[in-house]
């Protein structure tokens, strides 16, 4: 009986972890469609910081996902070459799409 419970627990945990897995292809596709790669790259500095730098900045911070979600959905002002511009929003209002992109960025 104990072995069956352990197997059941591990099965449920694996299902739960796969439910929260980042869909990298979908995240990258939405980022491309939204124009994110015009200013950002994975590991190189462009007009905006690379995603690896963003992930490093937020690593271990409990509010990282919430703050980054706000950033990619509200068009905040950002400084580029000394002047302020609106940061473009993701081209999706679907919370699951937004969460996937945010988690993708934070996983870099």
The residues, ordered by sequence, that sit 6+ positions from 53 with a Cβ below 8 Å of its Cβ are 45
Q: Domains of the chain by range and CATH?
A: 23-106 (1.10.760.10)
pLDDT at residue 81, rounded to an integer:
86
pLDDT at residue 19, rounded to an integer:
56
Q: Which residues of 27-61 are buried (b: 16+ CB within 10 A; e: fewer)?
A: beebbeebebeeebeeeeeeebbbbebbbeebeee
What does pTM read for this prediction? 0.79
pLDDT at residue 80, rounded to an integer:
86
Q: Which residues of the chain have pLDDT under 70?
A: 1-20
């Amino acid at each position: 009986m104990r072995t069956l419970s352990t197997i059941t627990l591990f099965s449920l945990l694996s299902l739960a972890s796969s439910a929260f897995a980042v869909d990298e292809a979908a995240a990258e596709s939405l980022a491309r469609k939204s124009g994110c790669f015009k200013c950002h790259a994975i590991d190189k500095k462009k007009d905006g910081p690379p995603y690896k730098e963003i992930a490093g900045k937020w690593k271990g911070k409990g509010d990282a996902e919430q703050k980054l979600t706000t950033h990619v959905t509200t068009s905040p002002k950002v400084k580029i070459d000394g002047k302020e511009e609106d940061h473009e929003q993701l081209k999706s209002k679907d919370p699951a799409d937004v969460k996937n992109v945010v988690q993708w960025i934070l996983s870099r």
